[in-house]
Structure formats: structure tokens, C-alpha cells
Structure 1
Amino acid sequence: MTIENPFRLPLLLIALFAFIAAPVAAQSPNTGTMIVKVVDQTGAVVKGAKVSVVNTATGAVREVVSGDEGSATIAGLSLTGEYTVTVAMTGFTSEDVTGLALRAGETATVKVKLVAGGGKSEVTVYGTAEGVRADPQIGRRLDSPQIDETPILGRKVTTLPLLNSAFRQAKGTGDLFVNQTYFVTGAGSRRTTTVTLDGANNDEAWGRQTMIATVPLGAIQEMTVLSNAFSSEFGWTAGPALNIVTKSGTNGLHGERLFMSRPGGMQAKTFSTRNFCAPSVFTCLTPTTLTAINPVDIPDALSQVSGSIGGPIVRDKTFFFATADYTRQDRTTFLSTTLPAFLLPADGNLAYTGHYRQTLFNGRLDHKLTPSQTLMARMNIDRFDDDNPQDAVGGTNAPSVARRYARRSWTAQLNHTSVLRANLLNEARFAYLNGDPVTLWEAQTLSTTYTRSGSVPFTIGQSRASDLFGHQAQFSDTLSWSRGIHYLRFGGSVIHHTSGGTGSEPGTAILGTFTFKNTTTAPFGQLT
């Protein structure tokens, strides 16, 4: 079965020819913009001042001249590193502004008041990484230092939106299938969230529940969680938008290593019923039949290894940055003592251990083709499998119920930025998303499923399976034109998505399911 999205392409073709005229605030999702306004000591605008913007981390230089209104706009600036702005004009003291950091999709404004030779110039900066928003976009920005300093369980990037109080976990949390946190805002659905990665769409279009390939936490330069009033460039959604910009290399070699271990043998397997009831709740009574509290999935052993490295290949020209994560988790569940003996393991051990493994990789290459053209290439890999997802085996579900869930996805992206003229910038992006399988359910031993309720309930056998894929290609192009304080953008995006495979989520029964009367207690071989 193959399904092609029936409505995206027509809508996108319309968008491709749409003309968008917006204030400076509506910038590209993965870059920033800077406006430099030049005036003299009387407040009059200064035309013809030379403005130079230098990225101190990569050596990238952009030079423009202030126009009739005394301002110059520099769009498409990388978020990596800090900027130094130099303003020079014959007869005036030149002025340098250092340490400017930019935010994704926003504009920093630098107002420079030049004075005659020998005097001291004045500089006013607003709208940078430490400033306030100058547009109605509502959301929260998280930069790399904030992300590094925040303890995040499991290092799941999809947990970060919960740091914005406008978001909450979606029902079911999403751990059943993709081991990620689902989130919603307002009255929205978990399937309406859209994800933008380095300016391109990164949705898992087959089910629209999360991104098709998870990004390692160490690869994120900046994440913005947007609830509403965001630019149309974040696209295709009736709900919130998640904008992620990855790190790029610089002239300095840098990296990090991280190891986390949670040994299972050190975890308490049972707890006392003491303080079961809060002292302030006088109507609460501890059940007489409750002798202990036994947590689920104990022991739960978790180990995670993460590493990042970035630096120059050719100084001031070619840079790389790579991040990898590996997660190893063993969760133990216990079978019910009410299960008939013939359903239990031969050794009588009631413990059943599930194994979760995930490998993430993100690699990025930035290259300066010419002084006015840059190229970014990025690849992201996400591979994981779980042989007891959401504790399918445990309680009255016998070990023969076990099945494996797996996902194999990768994405590739190419961004080309070209400064056509001092006031004309073109950004072209191509992205390919491959989820094959995007969902794979495999029974460890394919067999008919038998269930019985009543005083001696049980479920044995596993007959469900599925193998689904999703492929998506996207091309987008944006042309930005500026003149003084005026800024216009023309752009469009075309996406083609194909999905198919066999079965459904969470698997289609192949050999059938039989349910026996709940009044019978006969051995399995004698059930009727």
C-alpha cells in the first residue's frame, strides 16, 4: 500500500507564487538579521557610511553601505558565534560594537551615533540575544547554555517544550511507540505540532506525532517553542511550532563528552506504606490489604553516552560539527503470580526484562564557496528498537505476548545562501526525510493470541505485525530584499510525501485473537 499526500502539493504550489511582504521581524527560521542605523551628533542620518559585520568565530565578513535613511540591513547571519560591527565614515571617529549574539528568526538593531574626529561615539543595541522581542510572536527561546544546564530525563529533546508553561504533556505521553514526549498547547492536538530543523520541515508526516528523526541534545544551538502568532514560514500546522537550529563548527576546536549511569541494582524494589496518607487528609485510610508499595519497571538500568566535536577543516572557510548519542536501557517487569504455571518460565522466575537501544547522530558541514556564497550540508540518523514497549509483557500478559518495535530514519539537508547584492539575499534549501521503517512491529514468535478474563486471567501469543514507511522531499527558496528600514521577502516551499507499507499502528492481527469464557479454569490445552 502506497499513499501520496493528496492536498499538500496544491497548497504548496499556491504558496510558491505567493508574495510575502512583512516587517523585519519575520526572518528565516535558522538565521538572524541585523539593522545598523547611523546618525551624527545632531541626530541627522549619515548616508554612505561603511558598515562591516564580522563573525569572530568563523571569520565571515559582510560589508554594506548605509542608505539614504542612514540604515543598512544585513540578513541571513549565522547564529553561531558573536559579531563585531564596525562603522566608518570620513571625518568621523570610527566605532566598533563587539559581542553581539543573534536569535533565530529575529532582528538585532544597532544604532550608532558618530561624532567628529577625536570625539566619543555612542552606541545603542537592542533586539539581540539578551534583549526583548520586537514582534508579536509568542513562545520561549532556549539556547545551548540553558539546554546544557537543564537536567532532562533521558536527554529527550521533545521534553524541552515543557519548560514553556503554555505547553503540557499530551495524553499517553507518546512513550508507547517512539519513546518521545508528546506535548500540546491550548486545545490543540499532539498531531498538530510542526517541527522545523535548520529552516526545513522535519515532521514525521505518516503519523504527525513527533519529528521523523530525533536530534541529539548536544547538537542544538537554539530551540524556540512557539505557541501562536508565528511566521508562516514555520508552516503546515494548526497547533504549535518547534524551531530547532543546529550547531556549526568554528575556527576553534571544541567538544564535550558525557556519560550517565543509573545502576538497576541500587534501586529500591519495594516501599513501606508509611505516609501513604497525607497527615492533613483525615479521611484517608491506608487499605488493610496493602502491605507494601511496589514500583513498576524496577530495576530500571539506564546508561547514556554522548559526545560532540567541532572545528575548522580549512580556517575561515570550511567547518564541521558532529554529535552522537547512545542510550541503553533495561526495564524489568514482573509476571502475575495468578498466571497458570504452564504459562510461566520453566525456572519459575517472574521477572521479565525489556531492552531499549537508541543511536542518534547529527553531522553538519559548513563551507564558504565564495565571499558571497555559503553552503551547509547536514545529516541526521535515528535508530532504535524496544523488545518490550510500554511493558507489553508483565502482569497477566505472558512472555509469549512479547514483540519488538523498531524505527530506522535518517534525514539529509542542503542549504545554499547567496548574497546577490548588498541588499539582496537568496536562501535555497533542499531536504530529504526517510523513515523506512517509520514503524515496525515484529512478534518475537508469531502465533495466535488467546485471552481469558475472570478469576484466572491471562493473555498469550502475539499475532500483530506491521511494517510502514514514509519518504518526503522538500524544496524551498526565499529571496530577501532590503532598502533602508524596509524589508521584503518572497518565498515558497514544495513538499512531496509518500507513505505506505503493510499493517497499521500498532499492528494488524495476522493469525487472529480468541477469547475464552471467564468462568473456565481448565488448562490451556483443554480450553473451549
Structure 2
Amino acid sequence: MRLAAGQRAWRVLWLVTCATLIIASPAFGQATSTINGRVVDQGDALLPGVSVIATNANTGVVRTIVSNEQGVYSIPGLEPGVYEVKTELAGFAPAVRDRVTLAVNTTITIDFTLRLASVAEELTVTGEAPLIEVTQSKVASSIQATELENLPMITRTVSGMLALLPGAVQITPTHRSKENVGSVSYGGSAGTNVIPTVDGADNRDNQYGGPLMTFTTESLEQFQLATNQFNAADGRSAGAALTMVTKSGTNVFHGSGFVFERDRKLTAEDYFTRQANADKVPFSRQQFGGSIGGPILRNRVFFFGAGEQVLEDTSTPVPDALFNQKQLLVDATNAGLIPPGLVNPNHPRAGARPASLLMYTIKGNAQLANAHSLMFRFAGQTDDRDAVVFTAANDMREPENSRIKMWSAVGQHGWLWGNRGLNQITVQMNHLWRLSDVVSSITGEHYMRDFPRVPVFPPRLAFPSVNTGAGGQSGSMTDTAPTH
């Protein structure tokens, strides 16, 4: 039977869309992990039809897979955490592997040897050597949530944590807007070469490179830094692949809170300050926040939220004896040499440099059935910062007193096709814009005076990512239309 013209057109469009999704460059990474292995009996004969059950110790979420005709099983799409893995087959004693710890973006192999069951019995294996990933050759380091909480960091930032890993060095950010996000060089490459993903979604700055936004460490479950020999899904950079996973709620309500204070009264004078008989540079930093999470429906639906704010007030002294002796009659840095209302040759706020950073994350998880799961995560960041005149942080091409606001929304659906693989669809939108109350001193660069809400980056729409078990493929489209 011949197809109508309209039906043929829809079929061609469908084939083109599928081909585009298959060949498009990956835009999403892997934030989940996999347990696989082989099941045999005591005579080393393969056992098909064995139910392999993985239970998350914190959430109670259960994933069940049946071994195939070769006795092989694979359970992909598992959230990082601690699991109990159990086998069930009629006529054989159940075998249990307890306290299996999954790191982010890893594959662990657990083989089972089942014994015939003459009476009701169960074999539980504990205390074995730590499981080692043997399916990938990448060189990677991981930091867990307990390390994030307990490491003595002076700023408690993600970039500071990354600098502790082998091959990583914290460097000066490439742009003033990145001061709170931070920048880290891996293996001698530029800090802009990192490919960061959060919860399997893109977190890359399309303009300056490196991470787009930062997350409070209170919201992170763990992260992994792959610096060499990583797979093709992560190989989109000459630097490193950074995979971060945010925390999720569990079956137990839990929360946290913290306050950190730094002040110049609590710091010692350095050698040069003592030699100059000068006062310590004014400095004040308050960092506070917390988190809360728990079940909405036990073993099924969970929520988690975290927030953090950093208030910092610093001053940069001017290296001029006349200025220090207060012999100047006026503060010339605010006066300008041309009538008010026109372009100012210098930026305001000489001396003072207040800054404020607000970060928050909201996440929800739902296990609809054994094969279906949902995740939604919304994260935001507001960065208020004033720069002073004649400093290294000065960028004369852009406004100095600015507010940078950004948010990221991610939705994800996972569908487990038995041993055939995992279909994971991820939808994401990142948005960033800058607000300013001053203009640039460079002719032609003062557009933000008339457009105070011009987005720095155009919105980005990403196509779904299809994970076939060997890797993910997806595409992306950038909307360059003006935004008002």
C-alpha cells in the first residue's frame, strides 16, 4: 500500500530527527553509576533468569534486573551512594553483597556464585576488599560529601576543593565575573578548558569557558575529576572532565546549618604591614547557610534543598603617601573630568569593595516504578560585587558595580529497559544576565547604561540525551534572538 504524501513527509522528518540526535555532539554527561556482573552456580555453569536486586540503603529505592541467557546482568542509572545487592532464584540460596559504595560516573562489577538450597538459607558477603572499577581506563579522583564537610577550607568553595586533587592548581579567574565561581587549571592546561556537568547536565560557560555557576558545597553529594583517558562522552575538552552530583532526600529527615566568620581582628599582621607601621587592611567575611531533606512518600518521592550566602567587605589601599595622610581635599576618583551624566573616566567606589554571593539548590526525586524515575533540580546564584579603581580586578571595558544573576533548571526521566540499557532523557535550561548601575569608560562600550538587563549569554535549548549503554548522544541549539 502506497503512503500518502503527508505520511511520507512525517516519516522523513522523524528519520531526520533520529539521525540528528544520534550524530549530534554530546551535551550531557553521566551523573549515575552502574553495577554489572555474572551469575554462576558452584560448577561455574551460567545461570539465566536470576533476579538481581539493588537497594539504596538511604532511600530504599529498589532496582531489579533479571540475568540474561549468558548469566550476565547490568543495572545502570543508579544514584551514587551505598547499596545492598541481592540475588534470588528458585532452588538456590540467596546471595547478598552488603555495603556496596558507588561513586559518581563509575561501573562496578559484582559476580555471584549461587549454592543449591536444601533449607532456607541466605549467604551474605561483607568485609571484602574494596571494589575496583575495571571497565574504564580513565584517570580520575573523587571527593565524597563527608570530605566536603570536614576538610578545613578557608573559603569552602568548589574550586578550593578541586585544588586539593592531583594535577589541579587554583589560578586567577579569566574574568572578573568569575571571582566567586573560581578557576582551576588541570595538568597545565588553561582553567577555561574544563568540561563541568552537574546532575548529568551542562554547566559550561559559553563565553569565557569553565564553569558557568558555582554550587554551595552543602548541596553536593560528591564530584569526580577525570584528567586523562576519559571516554568519548566526556572528551570535549583539552583540560579535564568535572562531574558533580547534588544531594537528594532520603527516608530520614535530615538538615544542617553552619556559620563561618573571618575578620581582620582575628588575623595576624604580616611582615610588610609591620615594617610600614600600618594598620591591617580592613576585611570582614561572613559565610552561613544550611540544608534540609527528607521523604515526601517513603521509598518513592524525596526532596532536598540547600542555601548559602557569603558577605564580604574588603578595601584596597592606594599606594600613595599623600592619599594615606589624607592631604587630598576631595576624592577625585568620583569626580570625573567631564560634566556629570556623560561617560566617567574612572569608576566609583575608591577603597571600598563590598561583595555578596547567594547560592541555593532545590531538588526532587521520584521512583515511579522499578523501571521509571524522575528528577528535577533548580539552582540559582546572585553575585553582587563592586570593584575599586586602579586594581588588578579592574576591567575598564565593562561596568564595575554589577549584579550577576543566573539560574539552571534540569528535568530528567530514566527508563530502564532490563538488560538492554537505560534510556535517559534530560531537559535543561541555563540563563544568566547582568545588571549594572554604571557605564564603561571606553567609547562604544557603555551599552549597559541604556540596556540594564541585557543577558550576557543567549538562552540555550538542549535536545534530549539518549543513553544506549555505550554512551550518550544529544544536540543543542542556541537562540540568538534579542531578549527584552
Structure 1 or 2, whichever has the larger Rg, is: 1
Once the two structures are superposed, residues 18-71 of structure 1 have per-residue CA deviations (whole angstroms, 9 ceiling, x without a partner) of 499xxxxxx962111111322222222222222222223222222222222222
Once the two structures are superposed, residues 204-230 of structure 1 have per-residue CA deviations (whole angstroms, 9 ceiling, x without a partner) of 11221x322211111111111111211
What is aligned with 1:177? 177
1:386 aligns with 2:373: no
What is aligned with 1:112? 112
**Equivalence map 1:112-511=2 (5 Å):** 112-117=112-117, 121=123, 131-132=132-133, 134-170=135-171, 172-174=172-174, 176-179=176-179, 180-208=181-209, 210-234=210-234, 236-268=236-268, 271=271, 291-292=275-276, 298-335=281-318, 336-339=320-323, 341-344=328-331, 352-388=351-387, 391-392=388-389, 403-437=400-434, 440=435, 442-443=437-438, 466=448, 468-470=455-457, 471-480=459-468, 488-489=469-470, 491-498=472-479
Task: Note closer, same or farther for the CA distance 1:345–1:18 as it changes in structure 2 (3 Å cut).
Answer: closer
Deviation at 1:370, TM superposition (A): 3.3
Determine the C-alpha separation between the residues in 1 that align with 2:364 and 2:291.
14
Determine the C-alpha separation between the residues in 2 that align with 1:489 and 1:394.
50
- Amino acid aligned to 2:263: P
Contact 1:204 1:212 in 2 (8 A): yes
Deviation at 1:293, TM superposition (A): 7.2
Once the two structures are superposed, residues 276-326 of structure 1 have per-residue CA deviations (whole angstroms, 9 ceiling, x without a partner) of xxxxxxxxxxxxxxx337698x22111011201110111111100111000
What is aligned with 1:17? 22
The sequence identity of aligned pairs, in percent, is 23
Determine the C-alpha separation between the residues in 1 that align with 2:124 and 2:255.
38
Contact 2:54 2:84 in 1 (8 A): yes
- 3-state SS in 1 of match to 2:415: strand
Determine the C-alpha separation between the residues in 2 that align with 1:371 and 1:354.
53
Task: Note closer, same or farther for the CA distance 1:270–1:344 as it changes in structure 2 (3 Å cut).
Answer: farther
Return 5+ residue gaps in structure 1 as ranges.
Answer: 1-11, 21-26, 275-290, 450-462, 481-487, 503-528
Determine the C-alpha separation between the residues in 2 that align with 1:44 and 1:139.
36
Count residues in correspondence: 431
Determine the C-alpha separation between the residues in 1 that align with 2:70 and 2:211.
44
Task: Note closer, same or farther for the CA distance 1:103–1:431 as it changes in structure 2 (3 Å cut).
Answer: same
Deviation at 1:245, TM superposition (A): 0.9
Contact 1:469 1:501 in 2 (8 A): no
Contact 1:74 1:423 in 2 (8 A): no
Contact 1:194 1:236 in 2 (8 A): yes
Deviation at 1:393, TM superposition (A): 5.6
Return 5+ residue gaps in structure 2 as ranges.
Answer: 1-16, 334-348, 449-453
Contact 1:34 1:110 in 2 (8 A): yes
- 3-state SS in 2 of match to 1:252: coil
Contact 1:334 1:394 in 2 (8 A): no
Once the two structures are superposed, residues 408-430 of structure 1 have per-residue CA deviations (whole angstroms, 9 ceiling, x without a partner) of 10010001001234533210001
Contact 1:110 1:125 in 2 (8 A): no
Determine the C-alpha separation between the residues in 2 that align with 1:206 and 1:28.
20
- 3-state SS in 2 of match to 1:191: helix
Contact 2:142 2:222 in 1 (8 A): yes
Deviation at 1:154, TM superposition (A): 1.9
- Amino acid aligned to 2:368: L
